[in-house]
Amino acid sequence: MDSDSGEYEQRLASEKDFYKDCKNVSDLPPIFRYWADNHLMPTFKKFGFATPEHFFFREIERYVNLSKSENIRIISVGAGNCDVETYIAQHLIHENIHNFTIECLDINEDMLARGKAYTQENDVSKYISQVVGDFNNWVPDGKYNIVIANQSLHHVINLEGLFDAITSCLLPNGRFLVSDMIGRNGHQRWPEALKALTPFWDEMPDNYKYNQLLKRYEENYINYDCSTEGFEGIRSQDILPLLIDRFNFDLFLPFANIIMVFIDRAFGHNFNNEADWDRGFIDRVQKADIDGINARALSPTQMIASLCIEEVEMRKSGHLTPEFCVRAID
């Protein structure tokens, strides 16, 4: 699909309309927080951060301390409401780091307007600017120390063009910081994941099988394609292979496959994060997930990564390299 086609324009209109009034894109169920605190955060903390937002701040702080650059130019592609960028700015300022600017690139003017107001409310507007633009045909206007992609790459059609633009604008010692979805297109599950998921699904009480997003009961899990209208997960399965082709990895932390079905927005709100059965169920699904990913029987659907052009020794969790985590498409 070309970015100048009629289908693209139709999908773009749908995407912009969906996010026009979306003020909290990270509104996740309480059971997600239980899972993240008990299963994800311990791994993250081994690498010096606790959450994806904290990852961005820590990696930029690390870069500032190692590079000694006089001015740090940062751009965030697909920045939306600029909430993560505001968080980063606040934490950098708290660490007495002031020699930075963050450009927030997004095609949705309504979200950027909310972002501008949010930066003003939090006294960081002099560090953060808003730029209306489409990351599918973005042309950088100079060099950057840091490029951020926070849950935006899985909305991109022209991944090759965007990644080439980033390699062209990233300074030799720069970093491309990513938190994103890398599973099957449309956030569907591959056949092997469906097979692993089904016994857990069948075990759940019926009232846990109500899809809160699509407002329907699913006796059997429906492998829904989220990319049919807008750009949600449009090319998510291509992200990791294309990154491997174009960048070196400074940090790579992959995670989550079947667990996301149970803790995400569609079904996660059906769980009680304080109930013993619910917690035990999530713990068991997580163990099956970890075992499957470690054995390469399942492939991770999300990742935290710091990428670069220069040759570096990769920080990683055990044997989970980017190449190991790529699923071969049937």
Number of domains in the chain: 1
| Alpha-carbon distances of 289 from 37, 80, 318, rounded to whole Å | 16, 31, 16
10/181 Cα distance (integer angstroms): 23
CATH assignment of the domain containing 186: 3.40.50.150
Residues spanned by the domain of 267: 40-310
Residue 319: inside a domain, yes or no? no
- Residue 97 is predicted with a pLDDT of 96
Residue 22: inside a domain, yes or no? no
Q: Write the burial class of residue 173 (CB in 10 Å: 0-12 exposed, 13-18 middle, 19+ buried).
A: middle
- Residue 1 is predicted with a pLDDT of 55
Spacing of C-alpha 179 from chain mean position:
4
- Residue 230 is predicted with a pLDDT of 82
Residue 320: inside a domain, yes or no? no
| Alpha-carbon distances of 75 from 147, 204, 206, 233, 306, rounded to whole Å | 5, 43, 45, 22, 15
Backbone angles phi, psi at 140, to 5 degrees: -60, 145
- Residue 122 is predicted with a pLDDT of 98
Helix axes 159-169, 236-246, angle to 10 degrees: 30
Write out the chain's pLDDT in tens, 330 residues: 555 566 666 656 655 565 555 454 557 999 999 999 999 999 999 999 999 999 999 999 999 999 888 899 999 999 999 999 999 999 999 999 999 999 999 999 999 999 999 999 999 999 999 999 999 999 999 999 999 999 999 999 999 999 999 999 999 999 999 999 999 999 999 999 999 999 999 999 999 999 999 999 999 999 999 998 889 999 999 999 999 999 999 999 999 999 999 999 999 999 999 999 999 999 999 999 999 999 999 999 999 999 999 999 999 999 999 999 999 766
Token reading at 183: 């599973």
Pairing of strands 248-255, 302-308: antiparallel
Residue 19: inside a domain, yes or no? no
Q: What is the pTM of this model?
A: 0.92
Residue 3: inside a domain, yes or no? no
Q: What's the 3-state SS for the chain?
A: CCCCCHHHHHHHHHHHHHHHCCCCCCCCCHHHHHHHHHHHHHHHHCCCCCCHHHHHHHHHHHHHHHHCCCCEEEEEECCCCCHHHHHHHHHHHHCCCCCEEEEEEECCHHHHHHHHHHHHHCCCCCCEEEEECCCCCCCCCCCEEEEEEECCHHHCCCHHHHHHHHHHHEEEEEEEEEEEECCCHHHCCCHHHHHHHHHHHHHCCHHHHEECCCCEECCCCCCCCCCCCCCCCCCHHHHHHHHHHHCEEEEEEEECCCHHHHHCCCCHHHCCCCCHHHHHHHHHHHHHHHHHHHCCCCCCCEEEEEEECCCCCCEECCCCCHHHHCCCCC
Token reading at 93: 């300022």
Residue 110: inside a domain, yes or no? yes
- Residue 24 is predicted with a pLDDT of 47
- Residue 258 is predicted with a pLDDT of 99
Residue 60: inside a domain, yes or no? yes
